[in-house]
Amino acid sequence: MNACVVVFPGSNCDEDCWHALRDVMKSKVTYVWHKESVLPKVDLVVVPGGFSYGDYLRTGAIARFSPIMKAVVKHAESGLPVIGICNGFQILLETGLLPGAMLRNRSLRFVCKHVYLRTENVKTIFTNRLKPRKLLNIPIAHGEGNYYCDSETLKRLQTGNQIVFRYVSEKGAINEGSNPNGSVDSIAGIINDKGNVLGMMPHPERASEDILGSYDGRLIWESIQTHLN
């Protein structure tokens, strides 16, 4: 697997993603500064978490106009995988690569904790190594992860199996208490209709090694690797 991590002013999970890909997955990985207009020749583009442009205006709203984003869109249009994590997800939403938008967490609080995700679609580039409905223990850390879309879009996401991860309880049940931010339909991660762009609020790069308390996130990297090989 040959990957790059896009770095914006205010990105702060770029090094974690780089570490997970290089040291854990033994992949080739490079950083790409957002002012670049061309991507290196890579299979996977990672748009990492953080607070690009200080979250000013709206999360991801300014980063989406960075020169590199045109190349990221082109990469996505060519069918190659793109994963946006946390702020990366927010940037992909603002870019229009994924449908919907993010609102402030229902609690108005920044929520930083481990949550359980249920894998709703295992026939994707990002989840092919997972068993159906597999539970993943992966942390979230965000103030604006309250996913919103209109009911028409939601229906499209549901019928198209584009909802990849939902927030659930430790036992895998969907309920109000296990939805940490108020996301519609407990959505934690979605893919585009072509299936090659994933956006997720939880941080797989922070759960890719035993020493971090969970290595469930590693299954996502392994799935991408399996797809690419």
Partner 1 sequence: MYKAKINVTLKKSVFDPQGKTVLDALHSLGFQEASKLRVGKFFDLNLKAKSEKEAEKEVRAMCDKLLVNPVIEEYEFQIEEDGKS
Q: Which sequence positions are flagged as catalytic? A: 86, 203, 205
Residues 63 to 82 in contact with partner 1, rule: CB under 8 A: 65
Phi, psi (deg, nearest 5) at residue 72: -65, -40
Phi, psi (deg, nearest 5) at residue 23: -80, -35
Residues 168 to 187 in contact with partner 1, rule: CB under 8 A: 182
If one asks whether residue 149 binds partner 1 (CB under 8 A), the answer comes out as yes
Tokens (6 digits) for 8: 């914006």
If one asks whether residue 58 binds partner 1 (CB under 8 A), the answer comes out as yes
Cβ proximity to partner 1: between 105 and 127 the closer is 105
CB 19 to partner 1: min, Å? 32
Tell me the β-bridge partners of 45: 4, 82
Instruction: Give the interface size with partner 1 as a residue count (CB under 8 A).
Output: 21
Q: Mapping DSSP to helix (H, G, I), strand (E, B) and coil, where does residue 1 land?
A: coil
Please classify residue 140 by burial: count the beta carbons closer than 10 Å to its beta carbon, then call 0-12 exposed, 13-18 middle and 19+ buried.
Answer: buried
If one asks whether residue 141 binds partner 1 (CB under 8 A), the answer comes out as no
Neighbours of 79 (CB within 10 A): 11
Given the rule CB under 8 A, which of 27-35, 61-69, 76-84, 161-169 is the region that contacts partner 1? 61-69
Name which position in 24, 73, 80, 101 contacts partner 1 (CB under 8 A).
Answer: 101
The whole-angstrom separation of Cα 68 and Cα 34 is: 5
The whole-angstrom separation of Cα 180 and Cα 106 is: 8
CB 146 to partner 1: min, Å? 8
If one asks whether residue 193 binds partner 1 (CB under 8 A), the answer comes out as no
Q: Which residues bind partner 1 (CB under 8 A)?
A: 57-58, 61-62, 65, 93-94, 99-101, 103-108, 146, 148-150, 182
